[in-house]
Amino acid sequence: MGQKAKKVTVFGFSEAKPEDQDYQDAYQTAKLLAQEGFVIVDGGGPGIMRAASEGAKAGGGKAIGVTFDPKGMTNFEGRDPNNPADEVIVAGNYVERTLKLLEMGDAYIIFNGGTGTISEFGMAWGLARLYFGHHKPLILFGSWWHQIMEVFAQNMHLRPEELQVYRIVTTPAEAVEEVKKLINQHD
């Protein structure tokens, strides 16, 4: 790992509940990553973000939440007081928050989510293409991603490398193995 712990940013649905499979998968993935020495970064909110922070703590690791004050926004969850992040970074606005989440992560894991998650996925995918060959690992969690990516490939003007910059995983253990393998390739 070197001197500085590597960070994995977790993205996903803010309304996921503890009984949901996505929540449990995010928790378990973060726990396993923390046990491997990774720091977990998330949006500091509820749902998948809270699951990631809880998992990091359960794995004996550290969680960093990146949030902002959603003045004037009717549909932003904001900071979840039940998200046990060790450190909270407050960005100036939603776009700055997304950029900070992307900047901080040495790898990304994207769980199911809504338009916020789609936005984060789009930025992460675009950056991976732009930095192709030394891009940050992009892990898409869930078998349903195959269908999404196939539809993109069939209907969008994609370059070949855009279909090579991500990995699709379906279990927490597989997510951790991909992160470890891909981060080591990029060191």
The pLDDT of residue 124 is: 96
The pLDDT of residue 123 is: 95
The pLDDT of residue 5 is: 82
Under a CB-based contact definition with an 8 Å cutoff, are residues 168 and 146 in contact? Answer: yes
The pLDDT of residue 2 is: 44
The pLDDT of residue 183 is: 87
| Sign of the dihedral defined by the CA atoms of residues 16, 22, 26, 31, in that order | positive
User: Does residue 1 form part of some domain?
Assistant: no
User: Does residue 43 form part of some domain?
Assistant: yes
Query: How many domains would you assign to the chain?
Result: 1
Query: Within 10 A of 5 (CB to CB), how many other CB atoms are there?
Result: 14
Which CATH number belongs to the domain containing residue 94 in this structure? Answer: 3.40.50.450
User: Does residue 118 form part of some domain?
Assistant: yes
6 CB-near residues (< 8 Å, 6+ apart): 37, 38, 39, 106, 107, 183
The pLDDT of residue 25 is: 98
User: Does residue 2 form part of some domain?
Assistant: no
The pLDDT of residue 61 is: 98
Distance CA(15)–CA(46), nearest Å, equals 7
pLDDT per 10-residue tile (average), the chain, 187 residues: 78 96 98 98 96 98 91 65 92 92 97 96 94 92 97 93 93 97 77
Domain with 24, as residue range(s), is 7-186
